[in-house]
Amino acid sequence: MIYEYECNNCGETFDVWATLAEKEEGIKPVCPKCNSDDTYQVLGSVNVGISSKSGGRGGVPPGCGPLSGAGCC
Ligand SMILES: [Zn+2]
């Protein structure tokens, strides 16, 4: 299962892969951008009233993110 998480610290959204068992045990994903563990799960299919956030992620294109290292772009 893929779960989408968002960082409370920097607002980064990222996907976390975990089995149902792992999820039930409680996973604590760390933000790939700022290494904060202050993250929460984003339930993409649930309308939480944030209509302005349509389109979901955007922003950093694949392969060109902050983790790609120097010389990427
Ligand atoms: Zn972060």
Q: Where are the domains of the chain?
A: 2-49
The residue count of the chain comes to 73
Q: 2-49: which CATH number, 3.30.300, 1.25.40, 2.20.28, 1.10.3470?
A: 2.20.28
Q: How many angstroms is it from 9 CA to the middle of ligand 1?
A: 5
The token pair at 63 is 């392969």
Q: How many angstroms is it from 37 CA to the middle of ligand 1?
A: 8
pLDDT in tens, 6-62: 999 999 999 999 999 999 998 889 999 999 999 999 986 555 455 555 555 666 566
- Residues within 5 Å of ion ligand 1 by Cβ? 7, 9-10, 12, 31, 33-34, 36
Give the N- to C-terminal CA distance of the chain in Å, as an integer: 31
Angular region, 24: left φ>0, alpha ψ -120 to 50, beta rest: alpha
pTM for this model (two decimals): 0.57
